[in-house]
Structure 1
Amino acid sequence: MKRLLPLLVICTTIGGASLAVADTVVIQPEQQTVIKEYVQKNPVASVSIAGLELSVGAKVPDKVVLHEVPDVKYRYTVIDNQTVLVDPDTHEIVEIVH
């Protein structure tokens, strides 16, 4: 039986590259700076979602509005006063922005 290697997906964006290996997402420092600056200049209202533990991999309900960051694949929203990056395809949190 052949063993399958983990699928590597490389997403190139302006300001850096994001590398996804299986379920791990790495946001490059340059891209983190772009995201943080954009989020600070474009604040959104915080929402509260009962039962949602804010952690990487947690799924955000489809009803939560995700906001675009120009030239970045991921979207952001604010949950319980914490900004999170969310994969718009899976609605999974990929990073908690500090």
Structure 2
Amino acid sequence: MKMRLSTVAAGFLLLAGIGAASAQDVIIEPEKETVIRGYVEKQPLASVKIPGVELNIGSTLPDTVELHEVPDVEYRYVIVDNQTVIVDPDTRKIVKIIR
């Protein structure tokens, strides 16, 4: 009985962890991504380097990095190492990297 209960508890914790991880995923609709790409092409920015920050989804950009607005889109962007990086302005976390 204890073995079965432990297995159920472990399964529940595993599923809870998966749910928490996917809740952090941000999905940008294709239409918004198209708007962002078009805006970035029309408003070219110089690429910046950010020492000590890995460009990964979920990485946080320091406050010293200037984020740029895209009209009618809730996210901001910056060009890092010649890649467009889409950022949640509230958390400064990277939500998408457009290569």
| TM-score in same-fold range (> 0.5) | yes
1:37-76 map, 5 Å = 37-76=38-77
Give me the CA root mean square deviation.
1.6
Aligned positions, number: 81
The Cα shift of 1:59 comes to: 0.5
Displacement of 1:97: 1.4
Q: Which residue of 1 aligns with 2:11?
A: none
* Structure 1 segments unaligned to the other structure (5+ residues): 8-20
Alignment-derived partner of residue 85 in structure 2? 84
After TM superposition, give the deviation of residue 80 of structure 1 in Å. Answer: 1.2
Secondary structure of 1:30's partner? helix
- TM-score relative to the length of structure 2: 0.75
Higher strand share: 1
Distance (whole Å) between structure 2 residues aligned to residue 32 and residue 82 of structure 1: 14
Structure 1 or 2, whichever has the larger Rg, is 2
What amino acid maps onto 2:97 in structure 1? I
Identity of counterpart residues, as a percentage?
57
Q: In 2, distance between residues paired with 1:32 and 1:97? A: 9
Give the TM-score normalised by the residue count of structure 1: 0.76
Q: Unpaired segments of 5 or more residues in structure 2?
A: 1-15
User: What do residues 3-60 of structure 1 show as CA deviations (whole Å, max 9, x unaligned)?
Assistant: x9x79xxxxxxxxxxxxx6211001111111110000100111111111111100010
Where do 4+ consecutive residues of structure 1 move more than 3 Å?
A: none
Higher helix share: 2
